[in-house]
Amino acid sequence: MSSKIYSVITGTGNYIPGVSISNQDFLPNEFYDSAGKQLDKTTQDIIEKFQEITTIRERRHVDNNLVTSDIAYFAATDAIQSANIDREELDYIIVAHNFGDVTHENKRSDIVPSLAARVKQKLEIKNPNTVAYDLIFGCPGWLQATIQADYYIRSGDARKVLVIGADVLSRVSDPHDRDSMLYADGAGASVMEARTSDHPVGILGHKTRSDTFSYSKMLHMGKSNNPNFANHKALFLKMDGRRLYQYALETVPQAIKECLEQSGTDLRSISKVLIHQANGKMDDAILKRLYGLYGFEVPENVMPMTIGWLGNSSVATLPTLLDLILKDQLNDHKIARGDTIVLASVGAGMNINALIYKA
């Protein structure tokens, strides 16, 4: 077999905020439906049902003095140290996010300059050939940035790429929408490097799709569900949860299957399936549907989960999950050299992607 250039992950990092918000912390909230009518159930009942459906019992929020580019920098520093590289040798810094730097006081998106430019400045990188840019792709953003990095590396345009996923969703969540209990803050990062190998290693294949024609508005920005909300001009993240659940169940397993087939990978060789942490029950259903496409039973311990205690931090869920496993910080889950894993995500757009990786 002739040698080829592959993209391998040589370091990972994360930033998990220190402020833990339990479901019980939402008890003072008054919840309304999308039509502006207050829900007739007690808040306690709403919280209990929410946990039953999503498996989320707590989530993390950033301190008031931090913004997304800050926590992106923290995760980046962790990944660079993990990879043990000279940061001046980075060819690209790609930051996936969705809302820019939203401050605690202002709640407006700030993306000029780009968050990648801010992270590069915080890292004190002086090399002008380190190209820094942002990627907006919904929750699949970090994985899509990883796919872009793979193209750069395999084309010979880059040797080292820093990929970051960071979001602060707590500041774009409507306190009167029960979906606000889904959202969390966090950042994850990875360093990817070129490796010449006679045998397949690193990224083996990937698949991306965008279903905008019928599904572009399943996640959007809108006014508070509370018609009497003080700031009537404020916009918050809104979701058609039931339609999204069905869409994900129908399309994510199929996208993973296509990715496996295109890369010539047997599902039975997969040791771990890492899915974006959006909803625990939804991820369970996606996994069951995936294995059902092949007529297989779901193996034990194949899908690690963090959503129960970290919530949905959008682009940060996958890189954080990967980092925790690689650093032996997630009980009962390990990725050993030679293991083949799947990473997949779904989110606003609607966008879906999947990637096969051989450690």
Which residue ranges form the domains of the chain, and what is each CATH number? 4-197 (3.40.47.10), 202-358 (3.40.47.10)
pLDDT of residue 288: 97
Residue 293 C-alpha from the chain's centroid: 25
CA distance 177 to 171: 13
pLDDT of residue 253: 97
Report residue 81: phi and psi, to 5°.
-65, -40
Name 21's Cβ contacts closer than 8 Å, sequence gap at least 6: 58, 59, 60, 61, 170
Tell me the average pLDDT across 127-141: 98
Token representation of residue 218: 């399943």
pLDDT of residue 352: 98
For the cut 70, the answer to whether the pLDDT of residue 1 exceeds it is: no
Over residues 209-223, the pLDDT tens digits come to 999 999 999 999 999
Report residue 177: phi and psi, to 5°.
-115, 125
Tell me the average pLDDT across 85-112: 95
Sheet holding 92-96, edge to edge: 4-15, 185-197, 160-168, 92-96, 131-135
pLDDT of residue 52: 95
232 band by pLDDT with thresholds 50, 70 and 90? confident
Over residues 113-129, the pLDDT tens digits come to 999 999 999 999 999 99
pLDDT of residue 106: 85
Name 179's Cβ contacts closer than 8 Å, sequence gap at least 6: 173, 237, 238, 239, 241
Q: Which residues pair with residue 41 across a beta bridge?
A: none
Return mean pLDDT, the chain. Answer: 96
For the cut 90, the answer to whether the pLDDT of residue 283 exceeds it is: yes
One-letter-per-residue 3-state SS of the chain: CCCEEEEEEEEEEEECCCEEEEHHHHCCCCCECCCCCECCCCHHHHHHHHHHHHCCCEEEECCCCCCHHHHHHHHHHHHHHHHCCCHHHCCEEEEECCCCCCCCCCCCCCCCCCHHHHHHHHCCCCCCCCEEEEECCCCCHHHHHHHHHHHHHHHCCCCEEEEEEEEEHHHCCCCCCHHHHCECEEEEEEEEEEEEECCCCEEEEEEEEECHHHHCCCEEEECCCCCCCCCCCCCEEEECHHHHHHHHHHHHHHHHHHHHHHHCCCHHHEEEEEECCCCHHHHHHHHHHHHHHCCCCCCCCCCCCCHHHHCECHHHHHHHHHHHHHCCCCCCCCCCCCCEEEEEEEECCCEEEEEEEEC
Residue 140 C-alpha from the chain's centroid: 6
pLDDT of residue 241: 87
